[in-house]
A and B are shown apart, each in its own frame.
Chain A
């Protein structure tokens, strides 16, 4: 259920309108644009909270933030792809999975 900017500001009390606009401009948060308004998905709101945590609890500044976000996004993208890969492996015949398991085991021992 998408929320507008004012609603997000009501929920996330640690961010003000100016910062939120800045974060959108910097693509740290990527809400949908609809008729001049911004629509934040649940994922976008959770991301706003995450950026607040990174800024306040972890004392990340504006310079470090994009680096951390980009690394996090890379990790999540990799995990997503790994899930797809795991799904594909799950579809293989059992013999093929055995071969794969054996190869992985050998690599781990290296």
Chain B
């Protein structure tokens, strides 16, 4: 059958003399009600919304509306091109990324589903039967900030659980920022003899004033005096294991990089350790020392560090 489509005025529920404003209002009201994405379960909503959209696109266009009123065109053919609605993806893999909205923890869902089989849901006042299904407890998400050295070396940390209890956990060495540690069975209690859920602890590694991590290596800027740089010498350098003595070679320049082998971050899986890289930074006193000033005035050498730049 051709164009047995109903009249666009009827679809929007307005009279044929309705103003543009009335038509827009009627359309918005119906769109709110029938938008397919707002009606995930209603199959018929999509067709209704298409009809409403088609009717509105015809009546909101003054020229088309006039032609329709004159009987020059029928109400068909105004339909929007075929499009896919979000609801067609929302419950499939494409929508999975959106299933954790902000302020809506998946743990809440876990709780609802535990309740479904728990004392509060089915079994309330109904005796045995539906409420006896064992369910795993929900997972608990916790956050823990660990300082740089503790994260690098691993070891015991105490976490306070939401119920006020404390839990000692063993951090593995070489823990990275944003890592998650799963503690099996430390989440919410199970229901009807089901196993408890897990605690998921997201780690934040606090930045350190001197150490920086790159892969399994630790980087550190080491301020040295002019004398230490020119003459060389032994200086104390902090590492994640404590201070060690490092020999600054004679004539070390600003930016010279020295390596302390095996003083980096342990990697328990590879059973290896990274290195610590020490970058020399020549530091002058905040206030220029008169003796140094005097010496530098008398110091002359045929050295121009900007030679390459100047000839360019």
Residue positions of A touching B, CB distance < 8 A: 27, 30, 41-47, 49-50, 53-54, 57-59, 66, 69-70, 72-81, 83, 85, 99-100, 102-104, 106-107
Contact: B113 with A85, CB < 8 Å? yes
Contact: B91 with A83, CB < 8 Å? yes
Cβ-neighbour of B129 out of A44, A80, A99 (below 8 A): A99
Query: A42-B94, A43-B86, A80-B95 are contacts. A59–B28 as well, Cβ < 8 Å?
Result: yes
Question: Could you list 19 examples of A-B contacts with CB < 8 Å?
Answer: A43-B90, A46-B85, A46-B86, A46-B89, A49-B85, A49-B86, A54-B35, A66-B102, A69-B101, A72-B38, A72-B90, A73-B98, A73-B100, A73-B104, A77-B106, A79-B91, A81-B113, A85-B113, A102-B130
Query: A43-B86, A43-B92, A46-B85 are contacts. A58–B130 as well, Cβ < 8 Å?
Result: no
Looking across the interface, which residue of chain B has its beta carbon closest to that of A59? B28
Residues of A within 8 A of B99 (CB): 73, 76-77, 80
In the complex, how many angstroms separate the beta carbon of B160 from the nearest chain A beta carbon? 29
Q: In the assembly, what is the distance between CA of A41 and CA of B92, in Å?
A: 12
Contact: B89 with A53, CB < 8 Å? no
- A-B pairs with the 5 shortest C-beta distances? A43-B94, A43-B89, A103-B130, A73-B101, A76-B90
Q: In the assembly, what is the distance between CA of A50 and CA of B103, in Å?
A: 21
Q: In the assembly, what is the distance between CA of A69 and CA of B113, in Å?
A: 23
- Total count of chain B residues near the partner, CB < 8 A: 38
Query: A43-B94, A46-B84 are contacts. A103–B31 as well, Cβ < 8 Å?
Result: no
Q: B109 at the A/B interface (Cβ < 8 Å)?
A: yes
Contact: A70 with B31, CB < 8 Å? no
Cβ-neighbour of B35 out of A58, A73, A99 (below 8 A): A58
In the complex, how many angstroms separate the beta carbon of A25 from the nearest chain B beta carbon? 13
Contact: A80 with B27, CB < 8 Å? no
Looking across the interface, which residue of chain B has its beta carbon closest to that of A103? B130
Residues of A within 8 A of B129 (CB): 99, 102-103
In the complex, how many angstroms separate the beta carbon of B309 from the nearest chain A beta carbon? 32
Residues of B within 8 A of A47 (CB): 86, 89, 98
Looking across the interface, which residue of chain A has its beta carbon closest to that of B53? A57
Looking across the interface, which residue of chain B has its beta carbon closest to that of A43? B94
Looking across the interface, which residue of chain A has its beta carbon closest to that of B84? A46
In the complex, how many angstroms separate the beta carbon of A54 from the nearest chain B beta carbon? 8
In the complex, how many angstroms separate the beta carbon of B139 from the nearest chain A beta carbon? 14
In the complex, how many angstroms separate the beta carbon of B29 from the nearest chain A beta carbon? 10
Contact digits for B57-90, partner A, Cβ 8 Å, 1 yes 0 no: 0000000000000000000000000011111111
Q: In the assembly, what is the distance between CA of A78 and CA of B106, in Å?
A: 10
Contact: B37 with A50, CB < 8 Å? yes
Query: A53-B37, A58-B32 are contacts. A30–B130 as well, Cβ < 8 Å?
Result: no
In the complex, how many angstroms separate the beta carbon of B186 from the nearest chain A beta carbon? 23
